[in-house]
Chains A and B, each alone.
Chain A
Amino acid sequence: MILHIINQSPYQSSNLATCRKVIAKNDSLLLIEDGVIAGLLNTIYTDQMRELLTTHKVFALKADIEARGFTNRIITDINTIDYAGFVDLVIEHSLTQSWN
């Protein structure tokens, strides 16, 4: 069970594209920092993210969503978590893969 972490915008880097090719059953995805841009509604990435959500759990760091003014603009099926929730995810998964 891998916790995939993305911290960059999908408009800036191939990290989301690469992660989607690699992510396996039971793995989860966490969006932090500029990675939360991938969770926005009504973008060219929204359909990809919705498709990923049919098979995987996706989380996003609340502090990063709020900092960017994205509250209410994030796909509702994405679970928003605080730093304590981030720690829980790292503990629950056997390893983390930071697509930096």
Chain B
Amino acid sequence: MTKKVLFITRSAPHGHAKPREALAAMLAASAFQETVSVLFMDDGVLQLAKHQETSHLGMVNFAKTFNVMELYEIKQVYACAESLAERGFFTDNLVLPVKLIKYPKISDLITQHDLVLNF
């Protein structure tokens, strides 16, 4: 049995390298772990915003790669409902279908896994 891994990503895109390199880690994890889940929360939900246009930054638009997660068998993708609402976003503004989860349920989600990686 491989360990059940939960990724929690809480940083906004582009301002920091964390979210982009976290995506690489998620995809790598999926090759080794039977269960890989991802939770976008706090500023991390902004990684999922539609219509990101990074060509003027000279940086990679990694949000375009989020849709490969399903191909990599990462099927449990969550976004914190309050984090989205606090930032004026709704699920139809997002590049991915996500399961919404509220803060008080996040502890349960964590304990359904063996470990958490935070980026």
Contacts and interface: CB of A to CB of B under 8 A. Distances in A.
Direct contact between the two chains A and B in their complex (CB within 8 A): yes
Given A27-B107, A99-B118, 5 more contacts: A2-B110, A24-B107, A24-B111, A95-B111, A95-B116
Contacts of B115: 95-96
Contact of B113 (A14, A95, A100): A95
Interface residues of B, number: 17
Contact of B103 (A21, A96, A98): A21
B26 interface: no
Contact of B111 (A2, A18, A96): A2
Interface of A: 1-2, 14, 18, 21-24, 27, 94-100
Nearest to B119: A100
Nearest to B3: A95
23 contacts: A2-B107, A2-B111, A14-B42, A18-B10, A18-B41, A18-B42, A18-B103, A21-B82, A22-B110, A23-B107, A24-B104, A24-B108, A24-B111, A94-B111, A95-B110, A95-B111, A95-B114, A95-B116, A97-B8, A97-B116, A98-B118, A99-B118, A100-B118
